[in-house]
Amino acid sequence: MEFAITDAGCEPNRAETSSGLVTFKVENKGAAGVTELEVIKDKRILGEVENVADGLNAHFSLTLQPGEYELYCPNGTTQERGTLTVTGDQVASDDDEAARKAIAAYKTYVLAQAALLEPRTKAFTNAIRAGDTAKAKKLFPTSREPYERIEPVAESFGDLDPQIDARAGDVPASTWTGYHRLEKMLWVDKATAAEMKPFADKLDTDVAKLVSNVKTANYQTAQIANGAKSLMDEIGASKVTGEEDRYSHTDLYDFKANVDGAKAVFKSLRPILEKRAPTLAVTITNSFSEMDDAMEPFRSGAGWVTYTKVDAADRRGLSRSVDALALPLSNMAAIVAQ
C-alpha cells in the first residue's frame, strides 16, 4: 500500500486492503511538521515509520487480520487520523515452528531488558530523591540502556513512550516528563531534590506500567523485524546528531543500546533468514561487525566518551555505518513474514 505524508496528515486517510502480509510504502510529500505514520489496533502501535523528512520515503510490513485499524499521522492539520479497513479471511500468521521460536526468543530478550530497566531506573531516581546529584548523573546513561534496547516495544504502548522518553519540544512544556526532563534539571537547571522528586516519582510509575505491559505483549515476526530498522532510524535521527542527550552528552550509551536491540532482533530471526535469504543474513552479520568496529574507538572504560568529543568527521563516519546497517535490516520483515 502506498501512502503520502503531507501537512494535512495521512493521504489517503481512508484505505482498504486484503488480509495477509501488507507492506506500507510511505513518502513525505512536502510536509514539515508531519514525519510519521502509525498503524494502530486496540490502542497499540503495530507498525510505524518515523522521521520521514520531506522528499524521503520509508516502508514497513505487517501481517494484518480482517478488521478496522487506525491510521495516525501526528500533527496533521485535517487528516491526522484515518481508518484502514482490512477485508478477507483470517490468515495464518507465524504459524510454523521457526516463527514461534523466533518470537519466543525475542520475547525472552524483551522481558530480560524490562527486568533490568525497573531497578536501574529506581536506583537513578533514588539518587535524585536523596539529593546525590553526582550519583544521579553517573547512573543516568546506564539506567536508560534497557529502555533503548527495546524502544520499539515501548513505543507501541502509545502515551507511555513520550511520558518516559520525550525530549524538549516533543510534547508541550506543561506535560514534559521522563528521563530527559530530569536530565535537563540535573545538568542545566541545577534543580533541587525537592524540585525533581515529582518527576522522579512519575518516571518510576511510568516505567512500572511499561514493565507490566511488556509481560503480556504479543509479537509477530514482521513487527519484530520492523523494530530493528526503527532502532537504526532512531540513531540516524537523534543519536548521531547529538539531539537525544543534549544536556548530558551521553548519546553513545543510547547509540550502542539501540544497536544491541537491533542485534537481538536479528539473532532471533536469523535462523529464518539463513533458510530463506542466506545472502542477506551474511550481509547483516557483516554490517553489525562493521558497526561495532566503528564505535570501538569511542569506548571509555566500561562506558563511552561524551559526545562532545566526537568530531564532525567521526559523526559522519558513524552515520555511514548506521545507514549501511539499516538498509539490509529494512528487508527482513517481508522475508520472515512470508
Structural domain boundaries, residue 252: 221-336
pLDDT surpasses 80 at 265: yes
- Do the beta carbons of residue 22 and residue 67 sit within 8 Å? no
Q: What are phi and psi of 279, to 5 degrees?
A: -65, -40
Same domain, 227 and 143: no
User: CATH number, domain at 300?
Assistant: 1.20.1420.20
Instruction: Give the pLDDT confidence score for residue 76 in this predicted structure.
Output: 95
Instruction: Give the pLDDT confidence score for residue 183 in this predicted structure.
Output: 98
Q: What are phi and psi of 257, to 5 degrees?
A: -65, -40
> Averaged over 102-118, what is the pLDDT?
97
In this structure, is residue 97 part of a structural domain? no
pLDDT surpasses 90 at 95: no
In this structure, is residue 113 part of a structural domain? no
Residue whose C-alpha cell reads 494484518 in the numeric block: 64
DSSP H helical ranges for 8-132: 97-129
Instruction: Give the pLDDT confidence score for residue 12 in this predicted structure.
Output: 95
Chain segment 200-250, per-residue pLDDT in tens? 999 999 999 999 999 999 899 999 999 999 999 889 888 899 999 999 999
Same domain, 225 and 209: no
Same domain, 207 and 245: no
Strand partners, 16: 85
Instruction: Give the pLDDT confidence score for residue 175 in this predicted structure.
Output: 96
pLDDT surpasses 90 at 147: yes
pLDDT surpasses 90 at 51: no
pLDDT surpasses 90 at 61: no
Q: Which of 40-54, 81-95, 241-255 has the highest mean pLDDT?
A: 241-255
Closest CA to 262 of 224, 295, 319: 224
**How much of the chain, in percent, has pLDDT values that exceed 70?**
100
Same domain, 286 and 328: yes
* Nearest-10 Cα torsion for 84, 88, 89, 93: -50
> Averaged over 19-47, what is the pLDDT?
92
If DSSP states are collapsed to H, E and C, what string results for 142-163?
Answer: HHHHHHHHCHHHHHCCCCHHHH
- Do the beta carbons of residue 222 and residue 329 sit within 8 Å? no
> Averaged over 279-307, what is the pLDDT?
97
pLDDT surpasses 90 at 157: no
3-state secondary structure of 75: coil
In this structure, is residue 289 part of a structural domain? yes
> Averaged over 107-111, what is the pLDDT?
97
CA–CA separation, 229 vs 226, rounded Å? 5
Q: How many domains does the chain have?
A: 3
Instruction: Give the pLDDT confidence score for residue 237 in this predicted structure.
Output: 80
Strand partners, 304: 299
pLDDT tier at 269 (50, 70, 90 boundaries)? very high
User: CATH number, domain at 52?
Assistant: 2.60.40.420
pLDDT tier at 71 (50, 70, 90 boundaries)? very high
Instruction: Give the pLDDT confidence score for residue 338 in this predicted structure.
Output: 73
Domain boundary at 87, 109, 141, which? 87
pLDDT tier at 162 (50, 70, 90 boundaries)? very high
The rounded mean pLDDT for the chain is 94
